[in-house]
Amino acid sequence: MSRSPIRDLLVGVFVLSGLVALAYLSIQLGGATYSGPGGLTLYASFDEIGGLAARSPVVIGGVKVGQVKKIELAHDGSFRARVTMDVDRGLKLPDDTQAAVLTQGVLGNQYVGLSPGGSDTMLAEGGEITYTQSAVVIERLIGKFIQNIGNGEREKKSKGGDGP
């Protein structure tokens, strides 16, 4: 077949747009390069992380500043969950910052919320966030609630028996 400039141009456009789509999928959605150089690695240990997973967002006051990189059981025998987080390098976090596992809405995804403290020393690369607050597990909450209702009624009954 002979060389046709328009056909070649169309093939070029097709290949380039396909590559752009692939790049969008892998970089923007897949997050292939998010944890590249430039991220600040922080650690935090929790008693309970609920449904937190790798790639869950790390948030300060509702603004996403990073993501969870890895979750493992702590090696020091405390059976706590050790969460490795990757946050923006420019972030200056005091070393008394608190980390909490929170939920978006009642059934939403879980994320790590950071609330900066007032200390003058800042967390450095590989720093450990010591003040942590565990995830609220909704089943336990409901269990406690039901138990409390039961106790309340028993109290009421026993009071009723004592009364005149």
Partner 1 sequence: MFELVRNVGWRTVDNVHGLGGITLFGSRLVLETLAPPYRLRRIVDELYNTGVLSLAIVCASGTAVGLVLGLQGYNTLVRFGAEQSMGAVVGLSLVRELGPVLTALLVTGRAGSAVAAEIGAMVATEQLDGLRMMSVDPIDFVTQPKALALVLSMPLLSALFIVFGLFGGYLVGVGLLGVDAGTYISSLENNIDFRNDVLGSLLKSLVFGALVGLISTWRGYTSAPTSAGVSRATTGAVVQASVATLMFDYVITALWGVGV
By CB under 8 A, name the binding residues for partner 1.
1, 3, 7-8, 10-11, 13-15, 17-19, 21-22, 24-26, 28-32, 53, 55-57, 64, 104-109
CB closer to partner 1, 13 vs 146? 13
**Distances from the Cα of 102 to the Cα of 73, 107, 164, angstroms:** 19, 11, 49
CB closer to partner 1, 31 vs 38? 31
CB closer to partner 1, 34 vs 43? 34
Nearest distance from residue 57's CB to partner 1, in Å? 6
Nearest distance from residue 128's CB to partner 1, in Å? 25
> How far separated are the first and last CA of the chain, in Å rounded?
107
- CA 59 to chain CA centroid, Å, is 8
- Measured CA to CA, the distance from residue 104 to residue 61 in angstroms comes to 13
CB closer to partner 1, 6 vs 164? 6
Nearest distance from residue 106's CB to partner 1, in Å? 7
Strand order in the sheet with 57-60: 127-129, 39-46, 81-88, 63-73, 57-60, 110-115, 98-103, 131-133
Nearest distance from residue 66's CB to partner 1, in Å? 12
What is the residue whose two structure tokens read 């948030």?
Answer: 59
Nearest distance from residue 38's CB to partner 1, in Å? 18
Please name the helix (run of DSSP H) or strand (run of DSSP E) that holds residue 7, with its range, or none: helix 5-23
What is the residue whose two structure tokens read 């596992």?
Answer: 101
CB closer to partner 1, 17 vs 130? 17
